[in-house]
Structure formats: C-alpha cells, structure tokens
Amino acid sequence: MNYFTDAHEELRLHIRRFLEREVAPHLEEWEETTFPDSIMARFGELGFLGLRYPPEYGGQGGDYFTAVVLSEEMARAHCGGLGMAVAVQSEMATPPVHRFGTEEQKRRFLVPAIQGDAIAAIAMTEPDAGSDLAGMKTVARRYGDEYVLNGRKIFITNGARCQWCLVVAKTDVEAGHKGFSLFIVPKDTPGFQVTRTLKKLGMHSSDTAELLFEDCKVPVSLRLGEEGEGWTDLMWELQGERLIAACGNVAGAQATFEYAMQYAKDRTAFGKPISQFQVTRHRLVDMGTRIAAVRAFVYETAKRWDEEEYPVREISQAKLLGAQLAVDVADDAIQILGGHGYMSEFPVERAWRDARLSRIGAGTDEIMKEIIAKAYGL
C-alpha cells in the first residue's frame, strides 16, 4: 500500500532541500553549541511546524502523513537533537493545545508556536517520577482565579529556551488519575525557573533542562481542558508522541543502514570489499529486513491514527519495535565500520548515541511491554 501521495512527496523534496541547504552545513557546530532559536523560526516561516494544523491557526491543513514526512526527513538528515526539538514543538506540546484549548489559548499559544515565534516544551517527568508518572509530586492548588504551582520537572527538551511550557500537575492529590490537570505556563511567569541545563549522552544539538516551579501563580484561564482531566488528555498526547517517534526511528535506521551498506561496498579487506564476506552480507540483510517489516507495521498504525482510531496496543508495539530497531541498526553499523564506527567523525557513532534515548523517552521499553500486556488482557 502506498501511504504517500504526490503532494506528500513534493513536501518531502521541499523539506529535504531546505535541510540540505540550511541545516546540514551547521549540524556539527550545533552539536557543540545547540541550535539557534532562529532555525526554529525558519521552520515556522516555511510552514513545517504546522503541517497538520488548520489554516485558521496558520497551519497547512495536512494529514498525519505530512508529519510523518517531516519526521522521516529530519531523521534522514541525521538531525538528532534538532529533530527531537521540532517534534516536541509540533507533535507533543502543541497538539493538546489544539485539541483541548480554548479559542483564546489557541490564538495566544498555538499560533505563535506554529509560526516559530514561540518555542514550546512539555513537562511531565520529575526527578522521582519517570515511568511512574502517577507518582509525580508537582501540585497546583487553586486559590480563587489562579492556581499556585509547586514542583520540579526534569529531562525537559526545549526547557531552557521555551517561551511557554505545558505542565502536568496534581490538582487533587487524593483523586488518583482523576486528580491531574494540564497548565500552559509562560516562561516569564514569576516562580518559573530553569535551574540547570543537563549534559547528556546524545541529542547534543538540543537543550534538556531541569525546571523549578516555586509558588508559581497561573491564572485559571491557562488551565488546559477541564480540571481533573489532565491524565486522560496526557495519555492521548502520549500516543501521538510515541507514534511520531516510531516513524523517526525507522527512518533513522534506514539512513544508518544505507550508510553502512555503502561503506561495506567501498571498504576492502583481504583483497575484496567487505560486503562480499558472508558475515557482513547477512548482517546487512538482517538489518534491511527488520527495517522493512517494522516500517510496514508503523505505516499501517499511522494510517489508523490518521483515521482517528485509538490503537493503543499497536502504537505501543510500534514505539517499542522502532526504538529497538534504531539502536540495534546503529550498533550493527558500528560493528561493520569497526574502529571508524566508534569515531565521532563518522555518522554512525552519533546515530547510536542519539537513538539510545528512544528506548527511554516517551515511555521505556518496559512500560511499552506493560501497556501491550494489558491490552492482551495479561
């Protein structure tokens, strides 16, 4: 089945040319300095941050596969951290604002984010609550027309540079899953502080921060959706986050596979290209076969999501498979390249470092398996 139309392929070419001209030449520099805010503004100017949002909010009105195209091209260009930051902007922080936000909230926060004039973040994870999100300690207590937010969030992509952040907090600590709410918190709100920018294994071109909310007063008008519905809304957001991650992981694996295959054809040992050794050929065959199988499953799941189905089990499976695939393919590529694969001047080294996050972020492998098991009634 062909999931992409001529319009999708035209968009793909447009994105690819932009990345080749304006992004790829700077990637090595941004690995050292992180990307400048101006490149996010450029994504917005070209319409890439609102591919599937309605035109009335500055979007392009496309389907879910327009977002898939962007994710794939970012992965193909080895963008890593920048690709993750763009995904946070367009597929993680803004979808809940569009789906659950008031018209005023959409105009104030969604429109500038689509334009690239305001960088967004989403804050869920805490120092003591990662996979166990229900155990988070950030609270928002209501006093009249405002909430007072207190808590700490960690591992927040775009956290250091964002203009606003979507924050998950408990509004009723006794109500279980019915006690969570979402809040849009502008960066200039008193009590909102970036306590530190974190050093990490991969995704070096993006910033990852720890955030502190200390007696941070948030107007009731900036609560997103109904009080107590935050957990349900967050679970919906996570499905889209996990699926777009799977799409990027498969595309990243494909790019790494192609690089390793070309290297094997060009590299000689014992008088012939190493691609002619059975052990290398079979490794490449296994890599390509797994990619093809996982891609087919991911595309079919994306089609169901685009048709507004809610296939939680399949999305969890796609995320699990895609994450493991990206890491395994990068690891195999390093083995094929040998010592060169371990050197930072070759792209497979960065591919492995960047891919490793995918088995942790947006739900670990272990959490995905628990969700899948529950879906099977286990």
The β-bridge relationship of strands 192-197 and 208-219 is antiparallel
Concerning whether 345 is annotated as a catalytic residue, the answer is no
Spatial distance between the Cα atoms of 164 and 360, rounded to a whole number of angstroms: 24
Catalytic residue among 31, 241, 314, 349: 241
64 exposure class (CB count in 10 Å sphere: 0-12, 13-18, 19+): buried
Q: Active-site residue numbers?
A: 241
